[in-house]
């Protein structure tokens, strides 16, 4: 079945450090891939998405590239800020395997120190 595996946290970085959160997936068809962010006390917000191989999603300085050959969708940011402290979820949607429902990873908590 479909699944998403993302790196376990927590991840603690200093301000302006480079961020990578790894995400790999297993899917039966041609999934769309997503990164969501959850700030403390809030619901999830869509951060970025990619709908086909080699697509790059980007938003607020974050980027992720849909790599079909490695079944990966790693999240990166060149210089993190304290305001980026949150929980990040990788997700996929595969109509063939999950009826279009989202399959989420377990989340990675990021803490950025000043």
Applying CB under 8 A, the residues found at the interface with other proteins are: 32, 34, 36, 38, 42-46, 49, 51-52, 87, 89, 93, 95, 100-102, 104, 106-107, 109
Q: What phi and psi, each to the nearest 5 degrees, are found at residue 96? A: -70, -40
Which position has the token pair 């590239």? 65
Q: In this complex, which beta carbon is closest to other proteins, that of residue 19 or of residue 90?
A: 90
Q: How far is the CB of 31 from other proteins (least distance, A)?
A: 9
Q: In this complex, which beta carbon is closest to other proteins, that of residue 78 or of residue 94?
A: 94
Q: In this complex, which beta carbon is closest to other proteins, that of residue 63 or of residue 104?
A: 104
Do the Cβ atoms of 57 and 76 come closer than 8 Å?
no
- CA separation for the pair 14, 75 (Å, rounded): 17
Q: In this complex, which beta carbon is closest to other proteins, that of residue 58 or of residue 107?
A: 107
68: enclosing H helix or E strand: none
Q: How far is the CB of 104 from other proteins (least distance, A)?
A: 5
Do the Cβ atoms of 97 and 28 come closer than 8 Å?
yes
Q: How far is the CB of 58 from other proteins (least distance, A)?
A: 15
Q: How far is CA 93 from CA 4, 30, 59, 96, 110, in A?
A: 10, 9, 20, 9, 24
Q: How far is the CB of 36 from other proteins (least distance, A)?
A: 8
């Amino acid at each position: 079945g479909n699944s998403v595996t993302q790196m376990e946290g927590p991840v603690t970085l200093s301000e302006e450090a480079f961020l990578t959160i790894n995400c790999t997936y297993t899917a039966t068809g041609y999934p769309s891939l997503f990164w969501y962010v959850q700030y403390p006390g809030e619901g999830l917000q869509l951060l970025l998405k990619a709908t086909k191989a080699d697509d790059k999603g980007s938003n607020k300085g974050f980027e992720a590239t849909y790599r079909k050959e490695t079944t990966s969708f790693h999240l990166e940011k060149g210089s993190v800020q304290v305001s980026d402290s949150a929980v990040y979820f990788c997700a996929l949607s595969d109509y063939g395997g999950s009826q279009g429902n989202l399959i989420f990873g377990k989340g990675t908590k990021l803490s950025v120190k000043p």
